Amino acid sequence: MSADRAVLERAIERGEQEGGSVEFKERLTKDLHVDDGRLESLAAQLRHRVLSGDGEATYVVGVTDDGGIAGIDPDAFSESMDVLSLLADEAGAHIEEVQTWGVEGGIVGVATIREGAVLEDDEHIVVGTAGHVDHGKSTLVGSLVTGTPDDGEGDTRGYLDVQPHEVERGLSADLSYGVYGFDDNGAVRMDNPHRKSDRARVVEEADRLVSFVDTVGHEPWLRTTIRGLVGQKLDYGLLTVAADDGPTNTTREHLGILLATDLPTVVAITKADLVGDERVHEVEREVERLLREVDRTPLRVARHGVDAAVEEINETVVPVVTTSAVTMEGLDVLDELFERLPKTARPAGADEPFAMYIDRTYKVTGVGAVASGTIRSGRVEAGDELLLGPMADGSFREVEVRSIEMHYHRVDEARAGRIVGIALKGVREADVERGMVLLPRGADPDPVREFEAEVMVLNHPTRIGDGYEPVVHLETVSEAAAFYPEDGQLLPGDTGRARVRFKFRPYLVEEGQRFVFREGRSKGVGTVTSVDPDA
């Protein structure tokens, strides 16, 4: 018996009891269990199970009343999860996790139900951290999420040097390497970020959440291509500059990428405890000069106040805060900023046709291929007929939406800006790839091998000439591409036009999309200016 199967066996062994938290259901149907007033009574039953389990209940679906394994077909199981999600919503709870196993009769599954509704997007902001190595970004975040001063040796950084763990209520560790929040009484912090239960407590108690997403190693990053976000866009950037070191070339590169993607950004000058006031003021002036060099307006929060920072922060105004994780200087300012800053990653085109770039793919037993990502525009419903592609030859394949999952909920429909997993009928999981797009059937997409772009070279050891081949990150596309500058070459710091050609296959590219390109220590950003479907 596998460890996974043991979850099922333990639930069946515990069985249904009058005051227990386990409930057996062979199947749940909309016709029978939602209509004619049964929704309220079944929701009350679910609420009872959740309360009996101190906030957690276990529903075993695909078994008889006495716990015998019967199994149901995939469509029936999907419908059962739809109904269970409705019951959980009605009872003020949510589906946290669903595990399934194939049996002789089809599928049997265990759904974990947890008290509390899934947080709405407006109650959760995501902050991407950047900065030169050893400039204290992990230490700063460690002190923010725990409220604990650092010992001067990077002690609080150790809170974050762990393997990803699940964060409850639909916020997986893929989304963050640190999380804290706020309620009516102030900050809600983690006592020990190593404990999954401690993160769950923060998510459960907080009315507003702040997730921090670290940059991967020393590579530059783009908000639409961070794998850990599963396609979710960032709301703000947090760039750290150490007071004892000042801005470096890496600082400039990271700042360039943050601002080139129009991401509102806060600069935190860290390690103020290591230097005197004169040096702090010198680094503040260096940061302000750096921002002005890239046509941004610095706003020193110590001078203008948090109210001004919250009101003025945008793609051109950058608040600057001086901090120390050792003395906790400035961390109260960051707390107030993150508590008050509005969510910015708003979806565009909610009334436009449905479109979603695929960020991840996986296979669910009994369900089949699932494509996940953030809905870019429009809305999608279970049963919708879609196009998937482009395939390697540029064609699109007709597929059907079997079901939609959002934050562990099975839902009937989802709209722009939501992170979803869409189970697809009519395609194998092996044929679904990151960078593909889902579109309405009847759309007429024109995938391209090449496009024209305005590019800016942030860093390169020599020059970019014809045939230069970096990796281009555009939406969820990550593909090698050849560059052909209009004037034959581009030097570090140059901005100019170039033709960009994907090396291996076509993708759906649109005018106005931004991208990052990188190759070794060479980095740059660009904007698509025109596409050529016939190239």
pLDDT at 198: 66
Query: Is it the case that residue 167 has pLDDT exceeding 80?
Result: no
Mean pLDDT of the chain: 82
Say how far apart CA 205 and CA 194 lie, in whole Å. 18
pLDDT at 526: 87
pLDDT at 170: 31
Query: Is it the case that residue 196 has pLDDT exceeding 80?
Result: no
Say how far apart CA 78 and CA 277 lie, in whole Å. 62
Query: Is it the case that residue 176 has pLDDT exceeding 70?
Result: no
Query: Is it the case that residue 35 has pLDDT exceeding 70?
Result: no
Instruction: Choose between 505 and 409: higher pLDDT.
Output: 505
Q: Which CATH superfamily is domain 3-115 in?
A: Translation initiation factor 3 (IF-3), C-terminal domain (3.30.110.10)
Query: Is it the case that residue 265 has pLDDT exceeding 80?
Result: yes
- What is 382-443 written as a DSSP string? TT-EEEEE--TTS--EEEEEEEEEETTEEESEEETT-EEEEEEESS-GGG--TT-EEEETT-
Q: Please tell us whether the domain made up of 355-440 is placed in CATH 2.40.30.10.
A: yes
- What is 34-58 written as a DSSP string? TTTTHHHHHHHHHHHHHHHTTSEEE
Look at residues 67, 397, 407, 404 and name the one whose alpha carbon lies nearest to residue 230.
Answer: 407
DSSP category for residue 504 = S
User: For the segment 69-113, what is each residue's pLDDT rounded down to a tens digit?
Assistant: 999 988 788 778 878 877 887 887 877 777 888 888 888 988 888
pLDDT at 374: 79
Say how far apart CA 16 and CA 59 lie, in whole Å. 10
pLDDT at 502: 96
CB neighbour class for 429 (10 Å; exposed up to 12, middle 13-18, buried from 19): middle
Q: How confident is the model at residue 226 (pLDDT cuts 50, 70, 90)?
A: very low
Mean pLDDT of 19-32: 89
Q: How confident is the model at residue 376 (pLDDT cuts 50, 70, 90)?
A: confident
Q: Which fold has domain 121-340?
A: Rossmann fold (3.40.50)
Query: Is it the case that residue 530 has pLDDT exceeding 80?
Result: yes
pLDDT at 228: 31
Q: Which CATH architecture has domain 450-531?
A: Beta Barrel (2.40)
Range(s) of the chain covered by CATH 2.40.30.10:
355-440, 450-531
Query: Is it the case that residue 169 has pLDDT exceeding 70?
Result: no
pLDDT at 297: 95
Instruction: Choose between 251 and 444: higher pLDDT.
Output: 444
Q: Which tokens hold the place of 214?
A: 């670290």
Q: Which of 39-43, 90-94, 455-459, 480-484: highest mean pLDDT?
A: 480-484
Query: Is it the case that residue 151 has pLDDT exceeding 50?
Result: yes
Instruction: Choose between 216 and 461: higher pLDDT.
Output: 461
**Percentage of the residues of the chain whose pLDDT score is greater than 70:** 83
User: For the segment 386-434, what is each residue's pLDDT rounded down to a tens digit?
Assistant: 999 999 999 999 999 988 876 555 677 888 877 788 989 999 989 999 8
Say how far apart CA 388 and CA 439 lie, in whole Å. 7
Query: Is it the case that residue 195 has pLDDT exceeding 70?
Result: no
- Which of 73-77, 87-91, 288-292, 519-523 has the weakest average pLDDT? 519-523
Amino acid (1-letter code) at residue 381? E
Range(s) of the chain covered by CATH 3.40.50.300:
121-340
pLDDT at 277: 94
Which residues, including other chains, have CB under 8 Å from residue 311's CB and lie 6 or more apart?
A: none
pLDDT at 2: 43
Q: Which tokens hold the place of 85?
A: 């999600």
Range(s) of the chain covered by CATH 3.30.110.10:
3-115
